[in-house]
Amino acid sequence: MLELLWLPFLACLVLTGIHAYLGLHVLARGVIFVDLALAQVAALGATAGLLAGHAAQSDAAYYYSLAFTAAGAALFALTRERRGVVPQEAIIGIVYAVAASLTVLVLDRVPQGGEQIKQLLVGSILSVTGDEVARVAALYTAIGLVHWLCRRPLLAISLGGAPPWTRLWDFLFYLTFGLVVTSSVRMAGVLLVFSYLIVPAVAGAWLAPTLGRRLAIGWAVGFVVSVAGLSLSYLGDLPTGATIVATFGAVLAAVALARGSWALAARLRREGARAGAGLLVALGALLALAGLALALFPRADHPWLDAVERVTPAVQAVFLTPSERGVAADSRAAIAHGSGELARLRALQAEVQWGTRDLGPEERERLRQFLTSRDEIVAGDRLVLRTLRQKARERQRYAVGVPLALAGAGLIVVGVRLSRG
């Protein structure tokens, strides 16, 4: 595992180091999607390089991307107004849409250009080389040094100030930012770069009042997510970039939940039970809607009831006949056995894909056929369980749905009375 993931992990750390810092500037300036716009402008530059006869991953295509990114940086610097009628986020959106459209038009004239640009935008963090990581780390170190030397005017502009030569400093910020985005997207893809830019900065802004502490929290979040995302990707045989982005989302959701819980606890200490009135009303509304949905549309999906039945199977079993309960038990046993076989076969397939196990072409085909057949058998057993679940739902609609809706309405009434004191 370490042999396969240590270079991607180093690349993730490099991304964390520069993007967590730049994300604080982006949040302060309110230009959240500027990296997507500059990435699309860079992709337009790469397509121009393709049209000129260069390969998508060549140095020449990279320089085309940098030239277009510099033009985009100049545009964003010139169009920034402190109290303008049109917010800069609108300009950023227009640039993104126009650049994307021009990219499509250029790709129409480039043989097989779509696949090459797709690779450029999606990236492949697993395939990075030591030379790539070293080169990008050196570039980002130089950019970090420039920002350190110019930190006063750059921070002043991001925090709403207007130092002398504002547009020139703005151009420097967007130019260096564009260099980072162009290089990062080639290595990791747009979604991963956006996540490393925004999520650590948001977490830092939620948890700390000063820029220094926000940056430290952002670096910590990036480190933890890199370790967790790469590990989950390897253990679950999942797409690496998407797994890391999903891990960022989970971590940010956990931070938001902890922050909201802390704020609610503080308010309860100050105001007593009255502070929980809104929570009671919201909870009551959810219960009432869930109960009404079950009563009116029993055959629809009810994920909350599925979760309850997974934890407490008796909630469903009591609404099935004895013969139906026997069929359900047999199907669950078959699914458990089949899922175990699937897990064993998929682990073998993952070892083959990661290069730790060598199988010949005939053995690989046999493995694929085994996986397909076992998957179909498990799917059939799950269909039986879904049919039984629908029968239980028809019987639960009045016994569970109506009382739940009434309980929700009662909570709403209690919450409204508490809010009125």
DSSP 30-68: T-TTHHHHHHHHHHHHHHHHHHTT--TTSHHHHHHHHHH
pLDDT at 143: 94
Q: Can you say how many angstroms the Cα of residue 314 is from the centroid of all Cα atoms in its chain?
A: 36
d(CA 31, CA 91): 10
Within 10 A of 286 (CB to CB), how many other CB atoms are there? 13
Which residues belong to CATH 1.10.3470.10 in the chain? Answer: 2-236
User: Which of 37, 9, 14, 33 lies closest to 23 in space, CA to CA?
Assistant: 33
Q: Tell me if 415 sits within 8 A of 281, measured CB to CB.
A: yes
Instruction: Go through the chain and tell me how many residues it has.
Output: 421
Rounded-to-10 torsion of CA 305, 311, 316, 322: 170
- Residue 122: the pLDDT is 59
pLDDT reported for residue 66: 87
CA distance linking residue 69 with residue 99, whole number of Å: 11
Task: Say whether 270 sits in a helix, a strand or coil.
Answer: helix
Q: To which residue do tokens 């130089």 refer? A: 142
Q: Which DSSP helix (H) or strand (E) runs through 199?
A: helix 190-207
Q: Cα–Cα distances in Å, from 95 out to 37, 98, 99, 100, 178?
A: 6, 5, 6, 8, 14
Q: Which residue has the tokens 């056995």?
A: 337
Distance between CA atoms of 150 and 145, rounded to whole angstroms?
A: 9
pLDDT score of 214? 93
Fold observed for domain 2-236:
ABC transporter involved in vitamin B12 uptake, BtuC (1.10.3470)
What's the sign of the alpha-carbon dihedral 374, 375, 378, 383?
Answer: negative
Compute mean pLDDT per 10 residues along the chain, 421 residues long, and list them. 78 93 89 84 84 77 87 84 74 88 80 61 76 91 93 87 85 90 83 89 92 93 93 84 90 92 81 77 92 91 89 89 90 87 81 74 82 86 90 91 93 86 64
The token duo for 61 is 């295509």
- How far is CA 82 from each of CA 48, 151, 153, 163, 417, rounded to the nearest angstrom? 34, 20, 15, 12, 46
Describe the crossing of helices 211-236 and 190-207 by its angle, rounded to 10 degrees.
130
Q: Which helix (H) or strand (E) holds 242?
A: helix 240-271
pLDDT for the residue 120: 59
CA 267 to chain centre: 31
List, in order, residues 6 or more apart from 12 with CB less than 8 Å away: 125, 196, 222, 226, 229, 230, 244
Give the model confidence (pLDDT) of 128-175 as tens digits. 888 889 999 999 999 999 999 998 998 888 887 778 888 888 889 988
What is the DSSP track for 314-343? HHHHTTS-HHHHHHHHHHHHHHHHHHHHHH
Q: How far is CA 336 from CA 327, 332, 386, in A?
A: 14, 6, 16
